[in-house]
Amino acid sequence: MKPVMPERVLERMRRLLGEEGALASGQRVAAFPASPGEVGAVLRIAREEGWTVDPRGGGTADGEGDTPGAGAADLIVSSSRLGELVEHEPADLTFRAQAGLTVAALERRLAEEGQWLALDPPGGGRVTLGGMVASGVAGPLQAQFGRPRDQLLGVTLVDGSGRILVLGGRVVKNVAGFDLVRLVAGSRGGLGVITEVVFRLYPLPGDDRTLVWGFDDPLEAWEQGRALASLPLPLAAVEWLDGDWPEPLDGSGPRVLVRLLGSEEAVAGMRRVLEGVAGPPDRAWAGPESRKVAAAIAAGAAEGTAILRLHALPGEGAALLALVDQLAADRAALHLLGGTLRVSTRPAPADSTLQSMRAEAGRSGATLTVVRRGAREGGTGTEGPKSDFTGFSPPVAELHRRLTHEFDPGGILPGSWREAWSGEGGWVAAGKAGTRG
């Protein structure tokens, strides 16, 4: 294959999108299309030229923002010029917005109408709607409200051939059929560039409270948290936290945090039950202060050089805590109802540490994913891929290959070229990951 010349990528993108529509840094070029039609034109050119493409939202997954140097693809397709709230129907409790709108900016607009999107993805103020959907990632509120895929009603996707696909609908009750919308949630750019999303909304709750209990021992905190999480109450979030977290979550050490949302009466009732089990909390926040705590968790989780995600059945969380003991972690947060533990470390762990953790995780039925990978112990941060996901089993790899081919016959999107961890201690191309077994 001919090497790709960044000068040519830049020149063709600027011819299509204008001077402001593309920029270069080092060997990488970023394009900034401003409509689904422009995204389609960009992808058609990329396919014709055989360039690899990486869609980009707020860039929180690699911690480097919109910088063209951040990716391994020939061309980054940024959603930063696709930032409009297109429609908001307060009476329908839905909205339609372009993929580059940040979750934080959307929240501000919706709050004016007394509504909210009940999702709190990790990553802080830069996370975009498209990035959240593409990564499928959810924060503490997943305990009550599920993940983005559970609230996503529709999506507009530009596939690897440049076709604009309008999937799903605008209403909460939708027609039956094969659910392509849910397939897009978590596809990490592998099926196309998301240009628009439609989500369901909720009225802002009458009361919002966060209660926290501190402990000396991480395992004791985990046991108490599990006891609270298994109560028959609609708790919005139940988190186990360790390490130093930013304001207003000052202080360090293991703690359990519960968020309650609902009418004042319902929240007071739930609080009474919780206190009956765990005693009075060490601290409580209400209203905007409670929302600030949620924002501090989302932003604080994003600060590590490396971010690891470990997942086990909720009842197996203690095994995850034992695994994390091997790391000099700055911060760790475990969703006690979902079983996902996220750990931030600085610097990134060595390959050997990751390999032994992955092997141990496998033995206890858990999975380990490197979400972000910055500078390693003794490394510069420039070697190797920035993130990975566990290799597929052969049948899943074949399904993945065929599905990806339908949406991306030219193999330009990340589903075709992104590297994945082989599970055998090496990096392999995504399409070959089925060798893992």
Ligand X SMILES: Cc1cc2nc3c(=O)[nH]c(=O)nc-3n(C[C@H](O)[C@H](O)[C@H](O)COP(=O)(O)OP(=O)(O)OC[C@H]3O[C@@H](n4cnc5c(N)ncnc54)[C@H](O)[C@@H]3O)c2cc1C
Listed ranges 48-56, 83-91, 262-270, 376-384: which one lies at the site for ligand X (CB under 6 A): 48-56
Give residue 99's region: left, alpha or beta (phi > 0; psi -120 to 50): alpha
Nearer to ligand X, 57 or 162 (CB): 57
Find the residue with minimal CB distance to ligand X. Answer: 131
What CA–CA distance (Å, rounded) separates 116 from 22?
34
Nearer to ligand X, 82 or 270 (CB): 82
Write the CB contacts of 48 (distance below 8 Å, at least 6 apart in sequence).
none
What CA–CA distance (Å, rounded) separates 403 from 385?
24
Interface size with ligand X, residues (CB under 6 A)? 33
Find the binding residues for ligand X in span 224-283 (CB under 6 A).
Answer: none
Nearer to ligand X, 138 or 235 (CB): 138
State which of residues 55, 68, 317, 434 lies at the interface with ligand X (CB under 6 A).
55
Sign (positive/negative) of CA torsion 112, 118, 119, 124? positive
State which of residues 28, 188, 255, 400 lies at the interface with ligand X (CB under 6 A).
188
Interface pattern 361-380 for ligand X (x via CB under 6 A): ----------x---------
Nearer to ligand X, 188 or 400 (CB): 188
Q: Is 23 in the site for ligand X (CB under 6 A)?
A: no
Find the binding residues for ligand X in span 282-301 (CB under 6 A).
Answer: 301
Per the CB < 8 A criterion, the answer to whether 385 and 419 are in contact is yes
User: Strand pairing partners for 428?
Assistant: 420
Q: Is 61 in the site for ligand X (CB under 6 A)?
A: yes
Per the CB < 8 A criterion, the answer to whether 37 and 81 are in contact is no
What CA–CA distance (Å, rounded) separates 61 from 70?
10
Closest CA to 54 of 429, 341, 420, 417: 417
Listed ranges 16-24, 119-127, 219-227, 242-250: which one lies at the site for ligand X (CB under 6 A): 119-127
Find the binding residues for ligand X in span 377-416 (CB under 6 A).
Answer: 414
Nearer to ligand X, 281 or 414 (CB): 414
Q: Is 9 in the site for ligand X (CB under 6 A)?
A: no
Q: Is 79 in the site for ligand X (CB under 6 A)?
A: yes
What CA–CA distance (Å, rounded) separates 431 from 419?
8
Nearer to ligand X, 194 or 361 (CB): 194
Compute the radius of gyration of the chain from its Cα atoms: 22
Q: Is 137 in the site for ligand X (CB under 6 A)?
A: yes
Q: Is 127 in the site for ligand X (CB under 6 A)?
A: yes
Listed ranges 132-140, 215-223, 319-327, 378-386: which one lies at the site for ligand X (CB under 6 A): 132-140
Q: Is 358 in the site for ligand X (CB under 6 A)?
A: no
Smallest separation (angstroms) from ligand X to the CB of 303: 8
Interface pattern 138-177 for ligand X (x via CB under 6 A): ----------------------------------------
Buried/exposed code over 133-153 (b: 16+ C-beta within 10 A; e: otherwise): bbbbbbbbbbbbbebbbebbb
Q: Is 338 in the site for ligand X (CB under 6 A)?
A: no
What are φ and ψ of residue 316, in 5° steps? -100, 10
What CA–CA distance (Å, rounded) separates 398 from 41?
29
Grouping H, G, I as helix, E, B as strand and the rest as coil, residue 235 is coil
Three-class SS string for 245-285?
CCCCCCCCCCEEEEEEEECHHHHHHHHHHHHHHHCCCCEEE
Q: Is 345 in the site for ligand X (CB under 6 A)?
A: no
Listed ranges 50-58, 202-210, 347-355, 396-404: which one lies at the site for ligand X (CB under 6 A): 50-58
Beta strand spans in 117-222 (E): 152-158, 164-168, 193-200, 202-203, 207-214
H/E stretch holding 81 = none
Listed ranges 8-16, 57-65, 376-384, 392-400: which one lies at the site for ligand X (CB under 6 A): 57-65
State which of residues 132, 236, 357, 428 lies at the interface with ligand X (CB under 6 A).
132
What CA–CA distance (Å, rounded) separates 317 from 322?
9
Using CB under 6 A, list all residues that contact ligand X.
54-61, 79, 99, 121-123, 126-128, 130-132, 134-135, 137, 188-189, 193-194, 301-302, 307, 309, 342, 371, 414
